[in-house]
Structure formats: structure tokens, C-alpha cells
A = this chain, B = another copy of it.
């Protein structure tokens, strides 16, 4: 299997709410591939898509029930500690839930976490080694 990922799909409770978050809070422009049932964002060589959680489970033929920690995180790295602070403050001012305040972390970086409307965890990090 080639070392490649094409799409990360987030199963969301309400597509309008989630699409509004990614488009109007994060400020990302949706891809023209989007439809009324699925919203795509073309990132750096990979797509992020938003799809109703129940429909996503149905597509994968699994039970949609689930709760608690989802067992994954997404990271958005930036170029300095100040960029972490600035981005987190900007998101906070827009009403975004900051899960972990920016701070130095044991591996030598500086990071923070915020949550999207479904509780998906985005880390905003500066990694001086990357």
C-alpha cells in the first residue's frame, strides 16, 4: 500500500454548524467538489471533509454509536511560539473552545489545543525540530 492519505473525513453532528466553523471561524474556503451533503477543504495535498456522522458510519457499515475521547488529534504547526499565541487568541476571540492553553511541552515544543463543534481536537504547535 502506497504511503499516501487522500482524505480525512470528520463525521459531524450538524453539517451546517461544522461547515460554518471551518469556513467562517477558521476562514477556510470550501472546495468546489463540495455538495449539500458533504463539504471538502483542499489542504496541503490532502482533503479534509465534513460528512454527517450517521451517514459516515453507514458508509463504513459500522454502528454510529460512540462517545468520549475519539482517539485522534489533528495538528496545525506554525513557525513560532508567538504564532501559536496569536492564532489561539484570535480563535478565542471568535468564541472557539480552547482546550489547552499554549504552553511549553516536554518534547521541547510549544503547543495548545482547541476543539471544533464536534469536539475534534486540533493542536496548534510550534516544533523547533520540524
Contact = CB atoms under 8 A, between A and B. Distances in A.
Given A60-B73, A60-B121, A62-B121, A28 B8 contact: no
A10 B74 contact: no
A71 B3 contact: no
Interface in A47-65: 48, 53, 56-57, 59-65
B75 A5 contact: yes
Interface string A1-28: 1111111111110000000000000111
27 contacts: A1-B28, A1-B90, A1-B91, A2-B76, A5-B8, A5-B46, A6-B76, A6-B125, A7-B77, A7-B123, A8-B8, A8-B75, A10-B71, A33-B130, A45-B45, A46-B46, A53-B71, A59-B73, A60-B113, A60-B121, A60-B123, A61-B113, A62-B69, A64-B69, A65-B68, A66-B69, A72-B120
